[in-house]
Amino acid sequence: MQIEWVNWVSVFMALIATASTIITYAVYRSSTDPEVIVYADTDKKRPSVIILIIENIGKGPAENISFKTSRELPEKAFGIKEPDDMPKAMSSGPITTGIPYLAPSQKIIITWGQYGGLKKYIGRDNIVVKAQYKRANSKFRFKELDSSSQIFVEAFYQTDISDLNWDRKISETLIKTNEQLQNIDKAIKKLGSEEV
14 and 104 part of one domain: no
Number of domains in the chain: 3
- Looking at the chain, the whole-number percentage of residues with pLDDT higher than 90 is 36
22 and 100 part of one domain: no
Q: Report the CATH number at residue 106.
A: 2.60.40
Greater confidence, 74 or 136? 74
92 and 171 part of one domain: no
pLDDT in tens, 104-135: 999 999 999 998 899 889 888 899 999 999 98
Q: What is the pLDDT of residue 47?
A: 81
Quick one: 104 exposed, middle or buried, by C-beta within 10 A (0-12, 13-18, 19+)?
Answer: middle
Q: What is the pLDDT of residue 53?
A: 96
pLDDT in tens, 17-60: 777 677 665 565 655 789 999 999 988 888 889 999 999 999 88
102 and 14 part of one domain: no
What is the residue range of 10's domain? 1-31
145 and 173 part of one domain: no
Q: Judge whether residue 83 has pLDDT over 70.
A: yes
Distance CA 13, CA 68 (A): 45
Q: What is the pLDDT of residue 138?
A: 66
156 and 77 part of one domain: yes
Q: What is the pLDDT of residue 154?
A: 85
112 and 85 part of one domain: yes
**Highest mean predicted confidence (pLDDT) among 81-85, 127-131, 173-177:** 127-131
11 and 76 part of one domain: no
- The region of weakest confidence among 132-141, 145-154, 159-168, 174-183 is 159-168
101 and 148 part of one domain: yes
What DSSP line would sit under the chain, residue for residue? -HHHHHHHHHHHHHHHHHHHHHHHHHHHHHHH---EEEEEEE-TTSTTEEEEEEEE-SSS-EEEEEEEESSPPBSSB--SSPPSSPPPBP-SSHHHH-EEEE-TT-EEEEEEEEHHHHHHHHTT--EEEEEEEEETT-SS-PPPEEEEEEE-SGGGTT-------HHHHHHHHHHHHHHHHHHHHHHHHHHHHHH-
170 and 100 part of one domain: no
46 and 121 part of one domain: yes
pLDDT in tens, 2-15: 567 667 777 777 77
Q: What is the pLDDT of residue 71?
A: 93
Q: Judge whether residue 77 has pLDDT over 60.
A: yes
150 and 185 part of one domain: no
